[in-house]
Each structure stands twice: as C-alpha cells, then as structure tokens.
Amino acid sequence: MPLRIFEDAASLACAAAEQAASTIQKTIAEHGRCRLVLATGNSQIEFLNALTRMADVDWAKVEAFHLDEYVGLAVTHPASFRKFLLERVIKKTGIQTFHAIEGDSDDLSAVIRTISTRLTAAPIDLAFVGIG
C-alpha cells in the first residue's frame, strides 16, 4: 500500500475525496450501484464537503448506510449523527437510498434487525470511517 503525506487536512480531504469518487464510479460501472457506510465526526467534515462537490458521481446509484447513532437522540438534536449525515451528505448529493439508524425509536430491537438485514443483503463496497 502506498503511503502519501499531505501538507494539511484540506489537501488530505481533497485527495481522499478524489480516490473515493473514483472508487464509487468504478463500483457503479462494475455492479450498477455502490453500497457505502458513512461515519460522522469532525474528522469527516472536510472530506465529506469535498466528496459531495464531486459532480461526476452518479449519486442516484449509491446506497448509503449510517454507521452509528446515539440511543434516544432525535434526528432534530444538534448531536444527532443522522442529522449530520442528512445535512452533509444525503441532501447535498441526492442519495435516494439511505438506511439511517433511528436511535430514538420505541423499538430498538426492530431497528437493529431491519438495518442488519439491509446491511448484510449484499457486500459493502466502501466505508468512510476516520478520514481526516
């Protein structure tokens, strides 16, 4: 695996976004879709901003999964990971199939079963965790 060193976080984010977009495009070309796992956090912000600006990605063919969520936290709460992903990725790209974890559901067991079934229905092509 090649090692690349960048001058700053912005340069790293742009390079990671370019590589991610290329991988998404290649996966869509080979399989007709791309299944992603998306994480949140301050380390992801510059990367996700750069990635969502990539105009040549067919976002309609991307299926996204939410990595984790706080139990009991509504999507309207400022700390909600769903809110973070909806605002920073899903709404910006137009991804149509987003499997969010509803941590404030009255039936968390059902949420876990549903997301687990969807997640394991086919291989995950790419996961963005800890970029930045």
pLDDT of residue 42: 86
Mean pLDDT, the chain, integer: 93
Cα angle value 114/61/58 (rounded, 5°): 145
What is the sign of the dihedral through the CA atoms of 43, 46, 49 and 54?
A: negative
Find, among 56, 42, 61, 64, the residue nearest to 130 by Cα: 42
pLDDT tens digits, residue range 105-127?
A: 999 999 999 999 999 999 999 99
Give the per-residue pLDDT at 131.
58
Average pLDDT of the residues in 87-106? 95
Q: Which residue is it, tokens 């009255």?
A: 106
Write out pLDDT tens, residues 28-66.
999 999 999 999 988 889 999 999 999 899 999 999 999
Per-position DSSP letters for 85-120, written without gaps between them: HIIIIIHHHT-SEEE---TT-S-HHHHHHHHHHHHT
**Highest CATH level, class, for 9-128:** alpha beta
**Segments making up each domain of the chain, as ranges:** 9-128
